[in-house]
Amino acid sequence: MDVLRREAPGWSAPAVTLVAETTGDPFRVLISTILSLRTQDETTAAASRRLFARAADPAAMLTLSAVTIAKLIYPVGFYRTKARAIRDVCRALLERFGGAVPNDLDALLTLNGVGRKTANLVLTLGFRSQAICVDTHVHRITNRWGYVRTTAPNDTEQALRRILPAEYWIEINDLLVAFGQRLCRPISPHCSRCPIIAYCPRRGVEKHR
């Protein structure tokens, strides 16, 4: 993790991380995370900019129809479904949380379209709260390292909660997403350029560069 910390400034930060760093707004982190699911970072970043230029808070978002939101966020994956989910989330925030994003995992999980990955990312990036966000990169890479032996991201999260030092909880997703996008790819990772190859048993890697 210390090596990745040193290398990270030379990598592109994930789109949702940039939203968090530039706005410090949990609402924008939440909506950007919803947009990012099964969507490439460049598409997420552009869609987020277009959407927030029109509506930057839950009340303003509800003045837009689902059709309008869908047009603004296209071509993110499942853009029509996400447009409806965004309106549902904004309505719930206004009706149940006073228009604010809750700083609580269980409360976040009650929102439409919000699973553990999204909720934990909102906690870590939006509130800097102690949580571990496990996406496909974190799940794949920590298993590739042999640090955990799990079959699903939720299992990886629970395993990391038991063994990962708390100082790394908030940043592990940022570091491993950037690392996974740049070097530790799902198929044929760039092991010849990996700064931590000496520590990695490459579990499950059949082909590498």
- Per the structure block, which two tokens stand in for 85? 């989910």
Q: Taking the C-alpha atoms of 133, 110, 55 and 82 in order, what is their torsion angle to the nearest 10 degrees?
A: 80
- Of the candidates 116, 144, 142, which has an alpha carbon nearest to the alpha carbon of residue 131? 116
**Per-residue b or e along 6-37, where b marks 16 or more CB atoms closer than 10 Å to that residue's CB:** ebbeebebbbbbbbbeebebbbbbbbbbbbbb
Residues 106, 114: Cα–Cα separation, whole Å:
11
Contacts made by residues 203-206, CB under 8 angstroms, sequence distance 24+: 203/143, 203/144, 203/145, 203/146, 204/143, 204/144, 205/144
Tell me whether residue 117 is one of the annotated catalytic residues: yes
Neighbours of 149 (CB within 10 A): 11
Answer whether 207's CB lies under 8 Å from 190's CB: no
Tell me whether residue 71 is one of the annotated catalytic residues: no
* From 41, 82, 135, 174, the catalytic residue: 135
* From 41, 82, 117, 174, the catalytic residue: 117
Active site residues: 117, 135
